[in-house]
Amino acid sequence: TPDVRPLVAGNWKMNGTRESLDQIKAMAEGVKGPLSEKVESLICPPATLLYVATALCDDSPLLIGAQDCHQNASGAHTGDISAEMVADCFGTHVIVGHSERRTDHAETDHLVRAKASAAHAAELTAIVCIGETADQRKAGQTLDILKRQLAGSIPDDARADNTVIAYEPVWAIGTGLTPTVSDVAEAHAFMRSELTRRFGGEGAKMRILYGGSVKPSNARELMGVANVDGALIGGASLKAADFLAIYGAY
Ligand code: PEP
């Protein structure tokens, strides 16, 4: 998308202990350089590593974010973390509505929207995940699903500087399968038109990431598709060498 700085983002899911901080250190070093002015980079480790990870990235363009937040700012919600807490750890982003949370924790579009609003209230960028299941794709419902999830999961006051969309076909996550380039192009063009219709100029500039089995060998092709403004990477973001190879595809 013209005039949009792509974002290469990693989602560590429930992986990573203190030992893995070496990978973050290597990523923080690896993204230094002129490419960082063109391309933004982000790692979302588990919440246990958030604070120490941001400290490691003190003098690096590598940004650190969380994988989820509660919709409330504080309160009696045992085990949850708030967007305020992420910001307090110097996190800059939070993923909301990842398909694993939609499935494992029955998160609805309505809840995901509330979480995105909580992120915005804490001055974080919300990475709002959407995507169809294999059955929905087979039934030809992909664009309908994307339309409904976009309408339901994004707050009305979302802006291009505080909201990123991540299109992640559920069947492509962690499977090694990816949609064809023309399927990615169709989905992203559709999302762009929906976002522009609803948010005008802000929607035209809102980044739309592709996610689902992105790896060094397919990154360049996927990132080259029109309206793909970066990647959300699971498995291949755990190792600095893979993450940096994908980042370097730009
Ligand atoms: C993800 O979980 O956001 C993801 C895209 O995972 P993977 O890259 O492992 O498919």
The tens digit of pLDDT for each residue in 107-165 reads 999 999 999 999 999 999 999 999 999 999 999 999 999 999 999 999 999 999 999 99
CATH of the domain at 49: 3.20.20.70
- pTM of this structure: 0.98
For ligand 1, say whether the CB of 214 is within 6 Å of any of its atoms: yes
Domain count for the chain, please give it: 1
Residue 1 in any domain: the answer is no
Residue 45 in any domain: the answer is yes
Q: Which domain holds residue 115?
A: 7-247
For ligand 1, say whether the CB of 6 is within 6 Å of any of its atoms: no
Residue 2 has pLDDT above 90, yes or no: no
CA distances from 54 to 42, 88, 141, 144, 145 (A): 11, 11, 40, 38, 35
Taking the C-alpha atoms of residue 29 and residue 170, their distance in angstroms, rounded to an integer, is 32
76-99 per-position pLDDT tens digit:
999 999 999 999 999 999 999 999
Reported ipTM: 0.97
Annotation marks residue 84 as catalytic: no
Residue 2 in any domain: the answer is no
Residue 208 in any domain: the answer is yes
Measured in whole angstroms, the distance separating CA 246 from the mean position of its chain's CA atoms is 15
Residue 63 in any domain: the answer is yes
Annotation marks residue 40 as catalytic: no
Taking the C-alpha atoms of residue 135 and residue 41, their distance in angstroms, rounded to an integer, is 33
